[in-house]
Amino acid sequence: MRNELPRRLGLFSAIAVLVGSTIGSGIFRSPAVIADRLPGPLPMLSVWVAGGLLALCGALTLAEVAGAYPRTGGLFVFIREGWGRLPAFLFGWAELVLIRAASLGAISTTFAEYFFRAIGREPSVAPYDDYVHYLAAVAIIVTAAFNYVGVRWGALVQNLTTLAKYGGLLFIVLFALAVGLPEGAANFTPAVPPGSFTISAFGLALVSVLWAFDGWADLSFVAGEVKDPRRNVPRALILGVTSVIVIYLLANVAYLAIFPIDQLRQSPRIAADVAMQLIGTAGVVFVGVTVMLSTFGTLNGTLLTSPRIFFAMADDGLFFRKVAAVHPRYETPYVAIAMTAALGVIFVLFRTFEQLADTFVTAIVPFYALAVASVFTLRKRADWDPPFRTPLYPIVPLLFVLATIFILVNAIADPTSRWPTVAVLGIILVGVPVYYFTVGKRAAGNTPEDLGRV
């Protein structure tokens, strides 16, 4: 890496990046969608368990790969080292035109919705349904500014918001369990109502769960800025993902302790509705503030981590060289941060939460699979010496890869998601001719510095 970023993130900050990037809008928005697709307590909880296990399988595998390659760019680096420059370019292309902007848009939309809910305005009715988009755009700009002026500011915001969001969610969960049980035990029966489970519905629900768990790999993007990375990156990946799994499962049990499944599936802002039931208006305000902190922290984490993808691409000669610029005063990839924020603002002004979330998951899943599967090719290298090795290899990475294939095949097979899925995959494949007509065309005889001028 020719443009170096200083290593300033310790173990706690690394865990905060992962947890803060993961716990955002998903646990507050996705439960209703999942309950609607799997309207039974056991099917609904089982898909959350499945999603958590998949995230853990991915984290255990990336702990090995990231420990060996603790470099800025994360998944981009793993895919390039395992599969070559074209797949790595396609990942960056997908991040540029689909993934990152959709992620920022979905998270910031939830932030804006809960802001209006906290001040007593309904975000789904005019004029607030329009104001949501504008406030979401402002949130993206503000968090980009924190990360523009230095990784220490971004890390500080991340640490504080992660503590606040985890603590706030844990308080809601424990209070709901204490008040809702044992009377709410009736909400868990029957465990599997007739018609509450099909393979197709499970697959679609798993997409929504993976949206809620997404962020577990974001730490890898800033691995080049973590202190003692061979030790801290694997530990942060495993500890961070485990803590998210625990709080997510507890949250869903707590939601069911208060509301039966039929009511839960009609509650897109379930945490606020639970708080209203338990505490009243003050509870709604508390939840609103908690979700705002949660999504603001996730926005900050995304704008701390994801610009490093474009930075690494440019530094490797697969993108405009200027994007690899490091600010002379703040020592941040300021061009990459500004570009990422601008894309997020454009997306959030014109698309809804559901469109943004589904687009993100469909586009990112194939590249998660490639990054995890890179361990199969990298282990064949004679000099492979990672500080951590994936337990139960090759079962753990293989389970993750097979699950991602199931998700994509199921999405294409289902009539309701077929064409949006095909469209997203088609846009990704457009990157193939883009590669060969730009950087790939010059790859044969040029140096990385030449490629960087593309």
Residue 61: per-residue pLDDT: 96
- Report the mean per-residue pLDDT for the chain: 86
pLDDT digits (tens, 9 = 90+) for 9-42: 889 889 988 998 888 767 887 898 899 999 999 9
Q: What token pair was written down for 223?
A: 């691995």
Burial status of residue 230 (CB atoms within 10 A of its CB: 0-12, 13-18, 19 or more): middle
Is residue 449 a part of any domain in this protein? no
The pTM of the full predicted model, rounded to 2 decimals, is 0.84
Give the phi and the psi of residue 73 in degrees, each rounded to 5: 120, -25
Q: What token pair was written down for 373?
A: 């599967």
Is residue 3 a part of any domain in this protein? no
Is residue 110 a part of any domain in this protein? yes
Please give the average per-residue pLDDT across 296-315, as a whole number: 87
Q: How many domains does the chain have?
A: 1
Is residue 5 a part of any domain in this protein? no
Is residue 1 a part of any domain in this protein? no
pLDDT band at residue 378 under the 50/70/90 scheme: very high
pLDDT digits (tens, 9 = 90+) for 144-184: 998 898 777 777 888 888 888 888 889 889 989 998 888 88
| Residue 42 neighbours by CB under 8 Å, 6+ apart | 191, 192
pLDDT digits (tens, 9 = 90+) for 79-115: 999 999 999 999 999 988 888 888 888 888 888 888 8
The answer to whether 172 and 274 are in contact (CB under 8 A) is yes
> What letter represents residue 28's amino acid?
F
Residue 449: per-residue pLDDT: 43
pLDDT band at residue 444 under the 50/70/90 scheme: very low
Contacts 24+ apart (CB under 8 A), 179-183: 179/258, 179/278, 180/254, 180/257, 180/258, 181/257
pLDDT digits (tens, 9 = 90+) for 260-276: 999 998 888 788 888 88
Is residue 452 a part of any domain in this protein? no
For residues 298 and 166, what is the distance between their CA atoms, to the nearest angstrom? 12
For residues 448 and 114, what is the distance between their CA atoms, to the nearest angstrom? 46
Residue 357: per-residue pLDDT: 65
Is residue 357 a part of any domain in this protein? yes
Nearest to 80 by CA among 70, 68, 89, 67: 89
Q: Which domain holds residue 33?
A: 11-444
Residue 310's domain is classified under what CATH number?
1.20.1740.10
Is residue 2 a part of any domain in this protein? no
Residue 445: per-residue pLDDT: 44
> What letter represents residue 214's amino acid?
D
